[in-house]
């Protein structure tokens, strides 16, 4: 009798089976939304060249990226192929270099992008690259110190720090950071993105520049700390932040340049961002031609176009182009 009374008190039209189906459908809908959100994030990050550069991705995407890296780095034995491990902030520069080298010298670059530290660790574990292009010079020097390269390589460019402001932001793209200070006081600034200063070179530079303007401490509660500079660019572009201090090479990239404004920060406000190239020990012959090309006037022109300070061949010193 008690069981019958409990059944009678249930809302009409609903059964245990109905409730179970509703719950299952609700869980499935949530799962689909999460999957779509994750896929959209990966697609957005890929458009910026950020996958494999600190952006969180679903396990399937990480596995696919690992497989792609393995394929790119694999030695095919094809003549004229150079396997390059490069910092993600160099993606758009290398796309131009690839076209030039294919046309002029018949070289084919197969590039795996990632964080300099992650790529260095892959090389130390035996990844078969020919060239290592690091945005964080200490990682390149660590590889060289381990005897995995032919010498210490060369500094091929000097990174520049830029203030990037996405369309719709109330901030002004002002390289002096004067408006950033005003926005902090008048309430226009809510969130501001930089890379992590503890391990990202562009994050260290951002902190030093903010300290030079006495903005570091006042701004700290509003900072959105990214894993690396590419992720900081993603935060600013996606609307997660009102702006950010990022690599000029990324600020000039098509995915950002058409959707915001940027201005260079004075180079003497932060330590140098030296980008170093290494010829790795087991590199194939075409890799030498690629490394030599990095020191040519044509390569220096491309570096300047993408926002890098260039290395002048007469003294080997990297200088900024303001």
Interstrand relation of 81-87 and 131-134 (parallel, antiparallel or unpaired):
parallel
Q: What is the pLDDT of residue 130?
A: 96
* Domains of the chain, first to last: 59-158+273-313 (3.40.190.10), 161-264 (3.40.190.10)
Any idea what DSSP says for residue 268? Answer: G
Q: What is the pLDDT of residue 274?
A: 93
- Other C-beta atoms within 10 Å of 12: how many? 5
- b/e per residue 128-141 (b: at least 16 CB within 10 A): bbbbbbbbbbebbb
Q: Which residue is associated with the tokens 């381990």?
A: 146
Q: Which residues contact 87 (CB under 8 A, 6 or more apart)?
A: 113, 114, 115, 116, 119, 133, 134, 135, 136, 275
Residue ranges in the chain modelled with pLDDT below 70 = 1-79, 312-322
Q: What is the pLDDT of residue 134?
A: 93
Written in H, E and C, the secondary structure of 80-117 is CEEEEEEEHHHHHHHHHHHHHHHHHCCCEEEEEEECHH
State the sign of the Cα–Cα–Cα–Cα dihedral 9, 14, 20, 25. negative
**Helix, strand, coil distribution of the chain in percent, nearest 5:** 50, 20, 30
Q: Is residue 158 within 8 Å of 245, Cβ to Cβ?
A: no
Helix (H) or strand (E) segment spanning residue 35: helix 16-47
Q: What is the pLDDT of residue 317?
A: 41
pLDDT in tens, 169-199: 999 999 999 999 999 999 999 999 999 888 7
Question: Distance between the two ends of the chain, CA-based, in angstroms?
Answer: 88
pLDDT in tens, 8-31: 444 444 444 544 554 454 454 434
Rounded distance between C-alpha atoms, residue 193 and residue 207, angstroms: 11
Q: What is the pLDDT of residue 67?
A: 52
Rounded distance between C-alpha atoms, residue 70 and residue 59, angstroms: 17
Interstrand relation of 108-114 and 81-87 (parallel, antiparallel or unpaired):
parallel
Could you give phi then psi for residue 35, rounded to 5 degrees?
Answer: -65, -45
């Amino acid at each position: 009798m008690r069981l019958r009374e409990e059944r009678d008190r249930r809302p009409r039209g609903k059964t245990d089976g109905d409730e179970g189906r509703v719950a299952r459908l609700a869980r499935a809908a949530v799962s689909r939304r999460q999957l779509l959100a994750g896929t959209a994030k990966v697609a957005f990050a890929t458009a910026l060249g950020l996958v494999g550069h600190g952006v969180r991705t679903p396990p399937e995407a990480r596995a696919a990226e690992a497989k792609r890296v393995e394929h790119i780095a694999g030695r095919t034995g094809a003549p004229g192929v150079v396997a390059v491990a490069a910092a993600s902030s160099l993606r758009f520069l290398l796309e131009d270099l690839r076209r030039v080298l294919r046309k002029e010298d018949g070289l084919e670059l197969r590039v795996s992008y990632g964080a300099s530290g992650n790529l260095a660790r892959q090389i130390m574990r035996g990844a078969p690259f020919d060239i290592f292009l690091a945005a964080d010079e200490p990682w390149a020097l660590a590889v060289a110190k381990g005897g995995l390269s032919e010498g210490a390589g060369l500094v091929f460019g000097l990174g520049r720090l830029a203030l990037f402001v996405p369309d719709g932001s109330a901030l002004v793209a002002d390289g002096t950071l004067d408006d950033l200070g005003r926005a902090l006081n008048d309430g226009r600034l809510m969130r501001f993105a930089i890379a992590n200063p503890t391990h990202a070179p562009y994050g260290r530079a951002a902190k030093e520049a903010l300290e030079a303007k006495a903005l570091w401490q006042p701004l700290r509660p509003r900072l959105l700390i990214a894993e690396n500079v590419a992720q900081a660019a993603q935060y600013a572009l996606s609307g997660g932040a009102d702006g950010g201090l990022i690599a000029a090479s990324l600020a000039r990239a098509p995915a950002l340049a058409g959707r915001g404004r940027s201005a260079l920060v004075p180079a003497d406000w932060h330590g140098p961002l030296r980008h170093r190239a290494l010829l790795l020990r087991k590199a194939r012959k075409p890799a030498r031609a690629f490394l030599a090309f990095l020191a040519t006037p044509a390569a220096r022109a491309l570096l300047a176009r993408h926002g890098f300070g260039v290395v002048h061949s007469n003294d080997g010193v990297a200088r900024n182009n303001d």
